[in-house]
Amino acid sequence: MESGGEKRRVVVVGGGIAGSLLAKSIQFNADVTLIDPKEYLEITWANLRNMVEPSFAERSVINHRDYLTNGRVVTSAAINITDTEVLTEDGFLIAYDYLVIATGHKDPVPTTKMDRLNQYQAENQKIQSAHSILIVGGGPTGVELAGEIATDFPEKKVTLVHKGSRLLEFIGAKASDKTLSWLRSRKVEVKLEQAVDLNSTSDDSQVYQTSTGESIKVDCHFLCVGKPLASAWLNETTLKTNLDKKGRLMVDEYLRVKGRSNIFAIGDITDIPELKQGYLAQRHALVVAKNLKLLMAGGKESKMSKYGPGSEIALVSLGRKAAVAQFPFTTISGFVPGLLKSRDLFVGRTRKQMGLQP
Ligand SMILES: Cc1cc2nc3c(=O)[nH]c(=O)nc-3n(C[C@H](O)[C@H](O)[C@H](O)COP(=O)(O)OP(=O)(O)OC[C@H]3O[C@@H](n4cnc5c(N)ncnc54)[C@H](O)[C@@H]3O)c2cc1C
């Protein structure tokens, strides 16, 4: 039980997979407030499927209220923190005993689930009505989008332009090679070491210039470049000295912000030396949930659970049936890794973990 009978106030900033799972896990042990600028949790690795099949988003976009039945949701961005309170953009001061920062990456998406679902409908319409599509960026988002379109709309001409020398630079070169072969076998035209000048086109011409002087004529484009970390808001706060040069929060082995006894950080925002992956963010959340329960029950700090960095496992889907998977000692692609991720994109599993119908 929490000491003193009163429930401790835990404020979680960020309603991505890390913050949401943490808030859900401790909601009956603490007085929980979740602060997020949007009303919903989005299973981000389903985003590209949502664009080719908008109804898929009905399961992967989840109102915070659906799983946080015993906590408070504040729909606003956090803009400042002190040693005792969080200030939100719409002017609320929320006091905490324990604070968890989980703001991950910045992604300006609509506030309501309905608007997000409508956005997927509009993106789907854009794909449906185009004969030729340009994808800018060959990281996981660009590759997964190319895979989805090539699978569901094989008649469309897809061109993917990436400024790096290989696709999926966040993982090994073998995964890049296998991905490139798969995309080319599906008639996706991949151009490496070129940047697209998005200002080079007008609505009428739809001809894009690349940095090597090529012209690409398409009906529409999707910008799939990496998103920045959502940590700039911390620059003027009490945690400004806890950010590393990349803007990540430095944490100890208990996932506490270094030097802080009651502030934790989880998910992509942390400086843990591992791939930034949702399944690892989920593990962070469960470790911190355990540690908070222990501390709130008056347990000793020395009994807290430690987190060790995860191994370099990553799965990138290539349409509905195939994927490329990097494991510590091997990289495989095709139907077998596709069985792991690509059919349901872990949506059922994630919903179950959040206490919802798969
Ligand atoms: C294309 C693609 C495919 C992927 N596939 C996989 C996969 O198959 N498996 C896997 O494990 N991982 C995958 N990942 C990685 C995974 O998406 C991330 O690691 C995961 O989303 C990180 O979760 P997070 O909660 O830390 O951050 P985020 O998901 O970035 O969530 C951050 C939250 O913080 C909120 N926020 C931001 N600023 C503020 C603020 N100032 N105040 C309050 N709230 C704020 C945002 O609204 C958001 O809700 C994939 C990523 C991409 C791009």
CATH number of domain containing 88: 3.50.50.60
Determine, yes or no, domain membership for 320: no
Determine, yes or no, domain membership for 282: yes
- Which atom of ligand 1 sits closest to the CA of residue 78? 42
Residue 47 has pLDDT above 50, yes or no: yes
Determine, yes or no, domain membership for 255: yes
Determine, yes or no, domain membership for 328: no
Q: What is the DSSP letter of 219?
A: S
Find the mean pLDDT for residues 48-64.
97
Determine, yes or no, domain membership for 29: yes
Determine, yes or no, domain membership for 166: no
Probe ligand 1: pick from 21, 24, 36, max atoms within 8 Å of CB? 36
> What is the Å distance from ligand 1's center to 16 Cα?
5
Band the pLDDT of 203: cuts 50, 70, 90.
Answer: low
CA dihedral over 326, 161, 198, 157, signed as positive or negative: negative
| Protein residue with its CA nearest to atom 35 in ligand 1 | 14
Cβ-based neighbours of 219, under 8 Å, separated by 6 or more: 129, 130, 131, 132, 133, 206
Indicate the SS3 state at residue 192: coil
Residue 5 has pLDDT above 70, yes or no: no
Q: Give the global pTM.
A: 0.95
* Residue 147: count of CB within 10 angstroms of its CB: 29
> What is the Å distance from ligand 1's center to 107 Cα?
9
Q: Is 298 left (phi over 0), alpha (psi -120 to 50) or beta?
A: left
According to the model, what pLDDT value does residue 221 have?
94
Q: What is the radius of gyration, based on Cα positions, of the chain?
A: 21
Taking every pair of Cα atoms in the chain, the longest distance, rounded to a whole number of angstroms, is 70
- Distance between CA 181 and CA 128 in Å, rounded? 25
Residue 204 has pLDDT above 80, yes or no: no
Determine, yes or no, domain membership for 232: yes
Which range marks the domain in which residue 80 is found?
9-37+76-107+227-310
Determine, yes or no, domain membership for 268: yes
Mean pLDDT of the chain: 95
Split into its structural domains, the chain has a count of 1
- Distance between CA 317 and CA 352 in Å, rounded? 21
Find the mean pLDDT for residues 123-151.
97
**Which residue in this structure is represented by tokens 């349409």?**
319
